[in-house]
Amino acid sequence: MNDAPRLYAVYLGGDPAPGRLTEDHEVVLVVAGDLAEARRRARAKWGGATRAHVDAVKLVDVVDGFAVNLDPTNRPESVEVDLTYEPGGSPSTVS
């Protein structure tokens, strides 16, 4: 990392999967020292079959009035995803 590590949200796009009319997209979070590194790290997380491109990058340093601070940890990366979302409903708690 070139600078102090910061959190970035990156919107990736890729060629459509077979039988699809539009390209696939996903959002990934990465920790990087600068924007160029964030783009590289995000593309490495792409789950699609073809090469990803970056549609957007956002530095995430404040969320809902709370500063985002990064501290090293020995815990494994969280891969939990809440698949129970329903518009207008209450979100589930995933631990």
Kindly report, residue by residue over 21-57, the tens digit of the pLDDT.
Answer: 888 889 999 999 999 999 999 999 988 778 899 999 9
**Which helix or strand (DSSP H or E) is residue 67 part of?**
strand 66-67
Q: What is the pLDDT of residue 36?
A: 96
- Flag whether 61 is in a domain: yes
What pTM was estimated for this model as a whole?
0.77
Q: Does 90 map to a domain? A: no
Please state the rounded mean pLDDT for residues 72-93. Answer: 77
**Token pair in block for residue 6:** 């910061």
> Could you list the residue range(s) of the whole structural domain that residue 51 is in?
6-67
Q: Is residue 74 part of a domain?
A: no
Tally the domains of the chain.
Answer: 1
Alpha helices by DSSP H, listed for the chain, are 35-44
CATH number of the domain where residue 59 is located: 3.10.20
The DSSP H or E segment spanning 52 is strand 52-59
pLDDT value of residue 92: 58
What b/e readout covers 2-33, taking b as 16+ CB neighbours within 10 angstroms?
A: eeeebbbebebbbeeeeeeeebbeeebebebe
